[in-house]
Amino acid sequence: MSESFPGPAHASDHLDTIVAISTPPGRGGIGVVRLSGSRAREIAEGLVKLARPLESGRARFGYMLDAESGATLDEIVATFFAAPRSYTSQDVVEIAMHGSPVLLEHALERATAAGARLAEPGEFTERAFLSGRLDLTQAEAVRDLIDASTLQQARVAAQQLGGALSRRIAPVKEQLIALIAGLEAGVDFAEDDIDTMPGEEIILRLQNIEAPLWELERSFDYGKILHGGLRLAIVGRPNVGKSSLFNRLVERNRAIVTATPGTTRDLVTERISIEGVPIELMDTAGLREATDEAESIGIVKSREAMAEADLVLVVIDGTSELHPEEAETMDAVENRPSLIAVNKCDLGSDPRSIDFTGRSSGLVVRTSAVTGEGIQELRSAILQLAAGGAPIHETALVTNLRQKQAVSDALTASRRAKEAVKTATPHEMVLLDLYEGLHALDRLTGATTAEDILRLIFSSFCIGK
């Protein structure tokens, strides 16, 4: 990378050698201690006794030695990755041993006594970024891959780690740089009769730059829910089948279901995944005039859950006319992401016979919690509504607010440049907006990211990564 980057938050020299336990806390079959830096090999060779010397890209069998007696504590496997062909682009050694916290801490203490420094959270990945091996979107994908709770989250993170988002941005930056170069040439050599670029051509080229950025900005709706998940509240009158639909979506009998209205008194929650999107389902108490104190408390919790949820699923009884309380509930969520399940279709219900005029956001699904009819359509409708119309099978996504803000800033700068061209503003002033857009794209990949932003990003990583 051509830009100079700030150093790590803790060290004045990012070439010093750091060490950390890279496996999760606790006991396990295997534990790994990782070192990175100019003295990684030297320090590692002082911790263990090897059958053969360390060689780059090779695993070596050996023994972990007791610092006091020199006796063997454990059998180990040490792997050496020589710079620059390593995760951090520095010399890296990984020592795998049995996952005893005592052994791992002993190795850590000996490494620090030999001159290594305990790594800060995310410092190995930060060094990969500082060396130019990863850009910032790829570094963030490392964290997303570790935090993934669904296979689709892992797939998208792996694509991002492979540079999917960076590759999508690269041609946009190239077009913007070419436009800047063309305008700069016209300004710098105006006295030499170099033709200035016509306003119509500038606007057309800016529109071509904006088109993929608009798509990226739209992808945030899906990227956000894929990354962070969402909460869905199932609400409605008693005995309309809320808990039965909840059980169908969960695919097991999680909530109690009886023919007696008002069975559910408290919130019942469960986490599911719909096409890789993690969703917290909340089954709520039926909304009606409470008959006792317990039900009254449950109804209050239902209304709180409805207010806090990202999505609301209103369940109504399709075998009868629309009840005033159902109409009131739909009115309450009219301006929020919501959908309607017309349940009990196995009893001959028909949603077309119910008047939703002025009360439906458009997503109405006919379901039967008994037979399972419409459940797959309900899952698809939930995902469609959550994604806000954004493509849901794209892998080059904007997945966090930092990335989204950078794309939005680039679009804003482009729009200002177009307006300036339309009002015959001198190209010197148009260039200011174009450079601002370029800096926004640089922030996306980390080429011009401030030190405090980097510190915030990498501090959210786990230690050892």
User: E strand or H helix at 36, and its extent?
Assistant: strand 28-36
User: E strand or H helix at 184, and its extent?
Assistant: helix 164-188
| Type of residue found at 28 | G
Looking at residue 199, its pLDDT comes to 86
| Type of residue found at 415 | R
DSSP code for 230: E
Instruction: Give the homologous superfamily in CATH for domain 160-225+400-445.
Output: tRNA modification GTPase MnmE domain 2 (1.20.120.430)
> Residue 427: which of 210, 190, 208 has the closest Cα?
190
Note the Cα 358 to chain centre separation in Å: 36
pLDDT band at 189 (very low <50, low <70, confident <90, very high): low
| pLDDT, tens only, 289-315 | 544 555 555 666 767 777 788 888 888
> Residue 135: which of 43, 2, 329 has the closest Cα?
2
pLDDT band at 456 (very low <50, low <70, confident <90, very high): confident
Looking at residue 12, its pLDDT comes to 40
Nearest 5°: phi and psi at 132?
90, 5
CA atoms within 13 A on the CB side of 364: 18
pLDDT band at 31 (very low <50, low <70, confident <90, very high): very high
Q: Give the integer Cα–Cα distance in Å for 406 and 420.
A: 21
Spatial contact of 232 and 281, defined as CB atoms under 8 Å apart:
yes
| pLDDT, tens only, 191-224 | 544 557 888 999 999 999 999 999 999 889 888 8
Q: Give the integer Cα–Cα distance in Å for 461 and 456.
A: 10
Looking at residue 266, its pLDDT comes to 59
Do domains 18-133 and 160-225+400-445 share one topology? The answer is no
Looking at residue 5, its pLDDT comes to 40
Structure tokens at 306: 């409805």
Instruction: Inform me whether the pLDDT recorded for 177 exceeds 80.
Output: yes
Q: Which fold has domain 18-133?
A: Gyrase A; domain 2 (3.30.1360)
Instruction: Inform me whether the pLDDT recorded for 425 exceeds 70.
Output: yes
Tell me the torsion sign for CA atoms 114, 120, 125, 129.
Answer: negative
CATH number of 229-387: 3.40.50.300
| pLDDT, tens only, 347-391 | 765 555 565 555 555 588 888 888 888 889 998 888 888 877 666
Give the residues across from 93 on adjacent strands.
35, 80
Please report, for the chain, the start and end positions of each structural domain, with discontinuous segments joined by +. 18-133, 160-225+400-445, 229-387
